[in-house]
Amino acid sequence: MSGAVEAMPAVSPRAAATRRFAISETQVAGLMIAAVAAVLVLIIALPLWALLSKSLQSVDGRFVGLQNFVTYASTPTLMASLVNSVWVAGLATAIVIPIAFVYAYALTRSRMPLKSVFTAAALLPIFAPSLLSALALIYLFGNQGMLRSWMMGASLYGPIGIIAAEALYSFPHALLILTTALSLSDGRLREAADAMGTTRRRIFWTITLPGARYGLVSAAFVVFTLVITDFGIPKVIGGQFDVLATDAYRQVVGQQNFPMGAVVGIVLLLPAVAAFFVDRRAQKRQTALLSARAVPYEPKPDRQRDAALFLFSALVALAIVATYAVAAWGSFVRYWPYNLSLTFANYDFAEVEPTGWGGYSNSLKLAGLTAVLGTTLVFVGAYLIEKIKPYRALRGFAHFLAMLPMAVPGLVLGLGYVFFFNASWNPLNVFYGTLTVLVINTVAHYYTVAHITALTSLKQLDHEFEAVSASLKRPFWTLFGRVTAPICAPAILDIAVYMFVNAMTTVSAVIFLYGADTKLASISIVHMDEAGAVASAAAMGTVIMATAIGVKVLHVALTALVFGRLQRWRRR
């Protein structure tokens, strides 16, 4: 069975029989790592290289150096978009971070009731395409909005709408980072400060805030990057207000000016790359803050503080849930806001969109395939990178590639895919516009978070398992199947659900890559909105959101039920 037995002296006839497999276990591992690295080069490195090289070429493919960047900088409309993007993203960040911080503080440092409800409410935007928040705001404050008077004459379509919608959409991302940062603090410090009679205000400024400092920086960069690279929201609610993401789309899809699209892509890459490095620094520092002896902080009840934080959190949670609820409600309304009777008519997508429900089934196919193939690739890849000893350089290279997508916004990756998979010289261009390219693009897009999840779970396993298995003469794949994968099953399921939900909701990368038969639900939202069928767009958004939430609920139930049984060994 194992080829490794091959090198042993002929102690038994069986050993002699296996001699025919002239390849050792170590070599199998090497080949597998090489295969993973090759796949990552193909789906991550080469598209990025295509983007970079395209930005240095003229429309007819000649090398022109930085000419495109000069043209970009001297075109006032393009520069105006850059300025717009920066201040909109900056303002959205400035709004989201303080709110998310207080919300995270309430979740981690108070004894307010209903914390799990508040967590669930805040995470809601993750389960919907980004542009659903924009559609909801249009229902509320748009030209036919219910609460239009609240706008006091200002127009929603433009920076106001973009900032509001982006704030809703990016809120959970900031919250997740900040709750982690706040929960990672040493309770002993607090106790020591209390013992010294330190005032609460001083504790906040000298212990709480410095402890969460890196989380704050990291969250700010993540929000800024999400907003500046988001395509869906400015497309739906931006009106005449141009931003980088919509420019990139117009240059590539509208004007077929690939080099200029590539330049915009690279400009979009900058904040994300900066965020990537700041985040890595922050994470290193953050872990150093926590010694092995740190004790988690247990907040003590404090009526006044808990009540104030409860009120604040309730308002924020209500704002989020209400917005998405309005989008869902609007999708059932016959004629907003004049005839509020309910109907399923808006769900008859074929009326307004040639692909009808086809987009939804394409999305399901994409999400299912991404979850299955992506999870397999990510987990097997992470296992080889983390647990196989030889081939250090190759494993390091594969790990670097796996970490790369974190620094590449979906829109930029999508552009890279256009340039790479649409190129006439590339034999792989037969896949352009097919489900295949959509799947591999989505896997690549969400690779890093899944990879980190897998690594984290693998690192928790005793690192001598491989040694024990080898000493008992069983190959690593036996160990993987019998021990590693079963123990990591919860993490594997987490990765699959993460991949599925993101594949359902993503717009930014795939907007460049779909074909006539492979239009996705999230893309048909953009098209239905463009065609003025806002209710149908909201309906599709609602379907996606319901699917994603359904999968998540299923995940929670499955984890509780099945793993309760299968993972009997976890109980003492």
Partner 1 sequence: MTASPTIDPPFLEVRGLKKNFGGFVALKDIDLKVPRGKFVCFLGPSGCGKTTLLRAIAGLDPQDEGTILIGGRDVSHAPPSDRDFGIVFQSYALFPNLTVAKNVGYGLVNRARPRREIEERVNDLLALVGLPDQGSKFPGQLSGGQQQRIALARALATSPGLLLLDEPLSALDAKVRIRLRAEMRTLQQRLRVTTIMVTHDQEEALAMADRIVVMNHGVIEQVGTPEEIYRRPATPFVADFVGHMTFLDAVVTGPRSVKVGSLDFVVAEDAGAPVGAAVRLALRPEAVQTRGVAPDALNRFEAKVGGLSFLGAFCRAHLTPVAGGSAPIAADISANAMRDLGISEGEVRAVAFPPEALRVFADARP
Q: Which is closer to partner 1, CB of 395 or CB of 519?
A: 395
Q: Which is closer to partner 1, CB of 75 or CB of 460?
A: 460
A 10 A CB-CB count for 150 gives 11
CA–CA dist 45, 37 (Å, integer): 10
Choose the stretch contacting partner 1; rule: CB under 8 A; options: 140-148, 181-189, 437-445, 471-479.
Answer: 471-479
Instruction: Give the DSSP per-residue string, 323-369.
Output: HHHHHHHHHHEEETTTEEEE-SGGG-GGGT-TTTTHHHHHHHHHHHH
Q: Which is closer to partner 1, CB of 222 or CB of 487?
A: 487
155 near partner 1, judged by CB under 8 A: no
18 near partner 1, judged by CB under 8 A: no
- How many residues bind partner 1, per CB under 8 A? 35
Among 285, 300, 334, 389, binds partner 1 (CB under 8 A): 389
Among 452, 465, 490, 563, binds partner 1 (CB under 8 A): 465
Q: Which is closer to partner 1, CB of 276 or CB of 476?
A: 476
Per-residue binder mask for partner 1 (CB under 8 A), 407-436, x = binder: ------------------------------
25 near partner 1, judged by CB under 8 A: yes
467 near partner 1, judged by CB under 8 A: yes
The one-letter amino acid code at 187 reads: G
Choose the stretch contacting partner 1; rule: CB under 8 A; options: 339-347, 353-361, 459-467, 494-502.
Answer: 459-467
CA–CA dist 306, 311 (Å, integer): 9
Among 473, 532, 556, 557, binds partner 1 (CB under 8 A): 473
475 near partner 1, judged by CB under 8 A: yes
CA–CA dist 126, 30 (Å, integer): 38
Phi and psi angles of residue 107, each rounded to the nearest 5 degrees, phi first: -70, -30
* Residue 275 Ramachandran class (φ > 0 left, ψ -120 to 50 alpha, else beta): alpha
CB of 282 to partner 1, least distance (A): 28
CA–CA dist 529, 396 (Å, integer): 45
Please state the length of the chain. 572
8 near partner 1, judged by CB under 8 A: yes
Cβ atoms of 535 and 346 within 8 Å: the answer is: yes
Cβ atoms of 308 and 203 within 8 Å: the answer is: no
Tell me which H or E stretch contains 403. Answer: helix 392-403
571 near partner 1, judged by CB under 8 A: yes
Which residues 479-538 are close enough to bind partner 1 by CB under 8 A? Answer: 482-483, 486-487
Q: Which is closer to partner 1, CB of 188 or CB of 474?
A: 474
Phi and psi angles of residue 111, each rounded to the nearest 5 degrees, phi first: -110, 30
Under the rule (CB under 8 A), what is the footprint of partner 1?
Answer: 1-2, 4-5, 7-9, 14, 24-26, 389, 462, 464-465, 467-475, 478, 482-483, 486-487, 567-572
